[in-house]
Chains A and B, each alone.
Chain A
Amino acid sequence: MKLRTFLASTALTATLATGALADGHGWSLKDAAAPYAGTTVDVVFLLRPGYEAIEAMLPAFEEETGIKINIIKHPYENALGEQVRDFVAGGDLDVALIDLVWIGNFAENDWILPLADVQAKFPDTVDPELDIDDFFPLVLNAFGGWNDTIYGLPVDNYSGLLFYNRCMLEDAGFDGPPATWADLKDVYGPALTGDGKYAYALQSKRNETQSADSFARMIWPFGGSFLDADFKSNLLSEESQAGLQFRQDLMQYMPDGVVAYDHAETVNGFAQGDIAMITEWSAFYSTVVSPDTSAVADCVEIAPEPTGPAGRKPALGGFSMAVASQADEAEQAAAYLFIQWATSKANAREYLERGGVPARQSVYMEDGLEDFKFVPALVESWQDGVPEFRPRFAEWPEITEIVQEWGTKMMLGEVTTEEGAMEIGERMEAVLEEAGYYSGEKPLAQ
């Protein structure tokens, strides 16, 4: 969905919300929730700081509304499968937690309700202060929107950032982080690698980490992409190949076995002072700056990801929460109230301070955010991100498995970047053909 379409959709939603509540001056969460007190809302949370932040804030919501939030925790890798099975079986989930690459899947299967439909169905629940325009447009579009319709409100949002160890860089004679990927490899790499220390680590384990954090991160800044305008593979293009070859060349400055590194190993390596720079999600900021979990807390600095020949194309990740269509009416209303509260402008500051990363523009304009070093880089990255960093269509779960397998084989040297790209391209196109993109059955949208 293009930005213009998104803005039109957003304006429509905002108009509907404000129109429905033209006389909503006396709105309060307590009154709005009164008819639904005693309702239990089932929601999936991940084992990440952003969800711990909401969980810590929940007692206030439950006390005020009488709505009980039942949290089912999953590691990221299990979250999609668990939710798909729940929705297919007509299970208990009332809120869908949607990664930006899952939204096509959820929306096309009608497992989630459009935001406007929920607001029209339960007008009394809509907070006049919702202010949907306050969300970063890129984030709301990418995480909550599908086919010109907003389904979910963004929560636990990430941009890829460059975390660097200022002390290690200064010891090596650098007074700042690399501005470009080429500098990172050619200048910082040799100077910071040796004696068991490494200049950089790129988390590349064979799961979504490989496809999102490693593979996609390297093709976009070099001008590459997964697909061209006709939805054919673009991985053999000169630009995509340049990015993939760059990743191979950069591995000499990474720890052995980085192909088995997930977020935990990468963040821990950085937090123990073994790795000078990592490109990680903003969600891990609280881990690396806490003295409880980081030996280099005082040395951590944050910058936007380096630029490549095609500019800065930072990784984009994160989630939205949407009301599940399988929930009954009371649960849908209660679920909407919870989502609205968790992503609200009023709670954004507390969410941030407790370790979450809100997508509200207004919170980042407030004073007193000096302690959150990632904020300037994050805000800059969200101006420049690529919504289709990973294609957002319903076929992504099949395609990511292909990328994971052949992406790791490339890194291990079992196939060349050309051979790997050819394999991924052929298999990816077979999936897209089966789905009906080439026959015109489905629009070329991502």
Chain B
Amino acid sequence: MRDKVSRRTIFAFIGPAVVALAAIGIVPLLYAGWTSLHFFNLTKLKKVKFIGLENYWDVLTDEVFWQAMGRTFFLLGTALPLQIGLGMVIALVLHQPGLTVLKTLARLSLVLPMATTYAVVGLLGQVMFNQKFGVVNQLMGGADINWIGDSTNAFAMIIFWDVWQWTPFVALVLLAGLTMVPDEVEEAARLETKSRWTVLRFVQLPFLLPGLVAVLILRTADTLKLFDMVFTLTRGGPGASTEFISLMIQRVGFRGFDQGLASAQAIILLIITIFLAQIYIRVFYKEV
């Protein structure tokens, strides 16, 4: 088959996609690499100069950067297990036989949080968690909880919204994995044991692993670049309590206008993301 298709045809089909990807993804990345090696401040363009790895050194020795990174991983470490746990429960419930119409409705409704724009989620949060007028405090019996102005509560609020928005995604991915289990294998397993845990652990889980790895990689990358929702909800505050790594990079690059330093931060973040993705694939991923 391959012999019958000319190289020109192959290039004609693949070429535009490669060019588009290069223009959208590779060129900006190269440009970021270039700026990261320069003193490059938008308001001081007359002073642009090559400074080698100085920006990288500044980033790696900046405790504020690592504090923001720590905060980001703490968010990942708390929100992601919750999303996987809740997503698994939802997927298993929807995988049960019967109640077809209700399950279809449930699947459709799962899409809604994902379809909501990040920035809108943040604005919703501002209204719903308003200390005086917010519906959350009203639902808690007229509680007087200061959600947005308290460091701990603000962080908890971010975790809540991230779990709300992305648990459905995890549930749908895992549900897709469950449908991959051959019916006869699952039925045979259920005849062998009444333990749902045993069926899940030894029969269903192997089919869930590819999806789970995809969830780990995508959610890790998403959390590391989480910006819109937090920016509109808390803007990184109060203090620095919700200043995650992406907010810090935006602050340095677009409010302090130091594009060189921000590019170095972004490239270090990219390296960390790729490294984590590799770990996930090596540790968890297995072909079924």
Question: Knowing A81-B254, A260-B234, A397-B255 touch, does A88 contact B45 (C-beta < 8 A)?
Answer: yes
When chains A and B are docked, how far (Å) is the Cα of A261 from the Cα of B131?
Answer: 11
List CB contacts (< 8 Å) of A80-97 with chain B: 80-81, 84-85, 88
CB pair A397 B256 closer than 8 Å: yes
Q: Does B107 interact with chain A (Cβ within 8 Å)?
A: no
Q: A-facing mask of B241-275, CB < 8 A → 1, else 0?
A: 00100000001001111100000000000000000
Which chain A residues (396-426) contact chain B, with CB distance < 8 Å?
A: 397-398, 401, 405, 408-409, 411-412, 414
- Do most interface residues of chain B lie in helix, strand or loop, or is the interface mixed? loop
CB distance from B31 to the nearest CB of A (A): 14
Q: How far is the CB of A21 from chain B (nearest CB, A)?
A: 36
B236 interface residue per 8 A CB criterion: yes
A207 to B236, CA, bound (A): 10
Tell me whether A409 and B240 are in contact in the complex, defined as CB-CB below 8 angstroms, given that A109-B43, A256-B131 are known contacts.
Answer: yes
Which residues does chain A contribute within 8 Å of B258, judged by CB atoms?
398
B138 contacts A by Cβ under 8 Å: no
Find out whether the CB atom of B146 lies under 8 angstroms from the CB atom of A257.
yes
Q: Does A105 contact B (CB under 8 A)?
A: yes
**CB-nearest residue of chain B to A395:** B43
Query: Does any Cβ of A come within 8 Å of B33's Cβ?
Result: no
Pick the most buried of A255, A257, A394, A408: most chain B CB atoms within 10 A of its CB: A257
Are B236 and A206 touching (Cβ within 8 A)? yes
What is the 8 Å Cβ interface bit string for chain A, positions 226-260, against chain B (1 contact, 0 not)?
Answer: 00000000000000000000000000000111111
In the assembly, what is the distance between CA of A255 and CA of B133, in Å?
A: 14
At the interface, yes or no: A205 with Cβ under 8 Å from chain B?
yes
Give the shortest distance, in Å, between B10 (CB) and chain A (any CB).
Answer: 38
Partner among B44, B149, B254, B257 whose Cβ is within 8 Å of the Cβ of A257: B149
- Chain B residues 59-86 with CB under 8 Å of chain A are none
Residues of chain B within 8 A of A205, CB atoms compared: 235, 237
Smallest beta-carbon distance B236→chain A, Å? 6
Interface centre among B144, B149, B235, B251, by most chain A C-beta atoms within 10 angstroms, is B149
Which residue, A85, A274, A412, has most C-beta atoms of chain B within 10 A?
A412
CA distance A259 to B46 in the complex (A): 38
Task: Determine the residue in chain A with the shortest Cβ distance to B39.
Answer: A434
Closest A residue by C-beta to B144 = A256
Q: From residue A203, how far is it (CB to closest CB) to chain B in Å?
A: 12
B43 touching A258, Cβ below 8 Å:
no
**Chain A residue with the shortest CB-CB distance to B253:** A81
Give min CB distance, B59 to chain A, whole Å: 15
**Residue contact B256 to A257, C-beta cutoff 8 Å:** no
Q: Chain A: interface secondary structure?
A: helix
Complex Cα gap A412–B236 (Å): 14
Contacts of B144 in A (CB 8 A): 256
- Residues of A contacting B149 with CB < 8 Å? 256-261
Q: Is B222 an interface residue (CB 8 A)?
A: no
B46 contacts which chain A residues (CB < 8 A)? 109
Considering the complex, give the chain B residue whose CB is closest to the CB of A88.
B42
Whether the Cβ atoms of A206 and B237 lie closer than 8 Å is yes
Interface flags for A145-176 (1: CB within 8 Å of B; 0: not) read 00000000000000000000000000000000
Given contacts A397-B255, A401-B255, contact A260 B237 (CB under 8 A): yes
Chain A residues with CB under 8 Å of B256's CB are: 397-398, 401
CB of B238 within 8 A of CB of A260, answer yes
Chain B hits for A88, CB < 8 A: 42, 45
Give the residues in chain A near B238, CB-CB below 8 Å. Answer: 206, 257, 259-260, 408, 411-412
Question: Inside 8 A of B148's CB, which chain A residues have their CB?
Answer: 257, 260
On whether the beta carbons of B235 and A81 are closer than 8 Å, the reply is: no
Q: Do residues B43 and A394 form an inter-chain contact, with CB atoms below 8 A?
A: yes
Q: From residue B250, how far is it (CB to closest CB) to chain A in Å?
A: 10
User: When chains A and B are docked, how far (Å) is the Cα of A397 from the Cα of B238?
Assistant: 19
Chain B residues near A206 (CB-CB < 8 A): 235-239
Residue of B nearest to A414 (CB): B239
Shortest Cβ gap from A118 to chain B (Å): 23
Specify which chain B residues have a CB less than 8 angstroms from the CB of A261 in the assembled complex.
Answer: 149
Residues of A within 8 A of B151 (CB): 412, 414
B42 lies within 8 A of A207 (CB): no
Which A-B residue pairs are the 7 nearest by beta carbons? A257-B149, A206-B237, A260-B149, A257-B146, A409-B239, A256-B146, A260-B148
Apart from A256-B146, A401-B256: 20 A-B pairs, beta carbons within 8 A: A84-B42, A109-B43, A109-B46, A205-B235, A205-B237, A207-B235, A255-B131, A256-B149, A256-B150, A257-B150, A258-B149, A259-B237, A259-B238, A259-B239, A260-B154, A274-B132, A397-B256, A398-B258, A401-B251, A401-B255
List chain A positions with a Cβ less than 8 A from chain B. 80-81, 84-85, 88, 105, 109, 205-207, 255-261, 274, 394, 397-398, 401, 405, 408-409, 411-412, 414
